[in-house]
Amino acid sequence: MKIGLTKNDYPIRRNILDKVSGCEYVFLRNNNNLFHSLSTVKNLIFRKKSNIEGKYYFYQKPTIDVLHLYNDINYSSQKWVVSFETLVPRFLETRNDHQKTEPQHIKNSKTADGLKQIAKKNCLGIVSISQASANIQLELLKHYPEFKDQIEAKLTVIHPPQEIIPRDSSNIYNNIETFNLIFVGTQFHLKGGVEMVDVLRKLKSKYNFKLKIISSFKTDNYVTKVSEKEAQETKELLKKEDWITLFENIPNEKVLELIKESHFGLLPTWSDTYGFSVLEMQAAGVPVITTDIRALPEINNENCGWLINIPQNRLKQALYYTDEQKEELKKAIKSQLENIIEDIFANPEQLKEKSKNSVERIKKNHDPDIFSEKLKSIYSKA
């Protein structure tokens, strides 16, 4: 069976590419997409750009059996599947609705047309990578009852696959003299890095630990709104700390080696659609401290890690729209993170049990073979 893909970025590689044995994966050209071609012509002739995000129409039908998209919609007759991390269609008219204090949506024809494509028979399934995202999708469907039943019948939750990462944990948690902590997050500020460092600075005089930070310090323009200048200033200040080691743009193999050297991980994030670094840490037997938003409480809990409870709306989205909300968020993260870390340092024996439970959780809920079979059963409808 030939599976068509439109991109070769991280989400595609993490959730789709080479995940079903026996399938051949084909990368399709952008100029085979009608929306891309029309946008190019419009830009050349009229010097105007079109928003084609999330839309595909292959007018030269590719020689594939199934087109598998990520966050995008197919408007052609080609049989297709879509995996998503928040909802589909992911348009400007839909993608921020769930972030409001009270989630809301304004019904519109563009979204209705996108949902119409999903409801058609040639859409074989829509795969949510978490129950939190499935709930956001169901919230959108409430506004379009004409498509609700057809789409809900195609909706399934399949958590991403994760291989176990071998590590000899037999002695790593015995008689710890220096705790090794690790933080992995491209967007340092968005992922709660500033709050984490503030807490650790406060504890540095009392405990012996070192922190590895893996980040490119990318900025975001929708949550923290930190400028590139501010992000670089933060990075330079961190370089001066003798207990912090910074890593930028290193290969995944190196990331995994650093994870395996760690006693526990930190991801006190403000916003996250999933938390793939949490899976990698757990797969190596490294328990993680995370916030409790979106998919994180589905993949982390007090049995295998630690959860920071932060203010959020009913769709598990953190509240950060006003200055007051941001201050409450920071306060919640810092106070709970400090308590959790102090408890770990005072009672390190809990690390060994949570390490073992982390690996067991990955084996049970992210088995690559089970993931493959579930995806294969959707493809088989073609």
Say how far apart CA 185 and CA 192 lie, in whole Å: 9
Specify the pLDDT at position 169: 81
Specify the pLDDT at position 302: 97
Domain ranges within the chain, ordered by starting residue: 2-161+367-379, 179-365
Q: Output the CATH code of domain 2-161+367-379.
A: 3.40.50
The answer to whether the 2-161+367-379 and 179-365 domains have the same CATH topology is yes
Closest among 91, 96, 98 to 112, alpha carbons compared = 91
SS3 245: strand
Q: Output the CATH code of domain 179-365.
A: 3.40.50.2000
* Per-residue model confidence as pLDDT tens for the chain (382 residues): 999 998 899 999 999 999 999 999 999 876 555 555 555 555 556 555 555 455 555 545 668 999 999 999 998 889 999 999 999 999 989 989 999 899 999 999 999 999 999 999 999 999 999 999 999 999 999 999 999 999 999 999 999 999 999 998 878 999 999 999 999 999 999 999 999 999 999 999 999 999 999 999 999 887 998 999 999 999 999 999 999 999 998 999 999 999 999 999 999 999 999 999 999 999 999 999 999 999 999 999 999 999 999 999 999 999 998 999 999 999 999 999 999 999 999 999 999 999 999 999 999 999 999 999 999 999 999 9
Say how far apart CA 214 and CA 250 lie, in whole Å: 8
Closest among 261, 265, 291 to 278, alpha carbons compared = 265
CB burial readout 150-176, b (16+ within 10 A) else e:
bbeebbebbbbbbeebebebeebbeee
pTM above 0.85, yes or no: yes
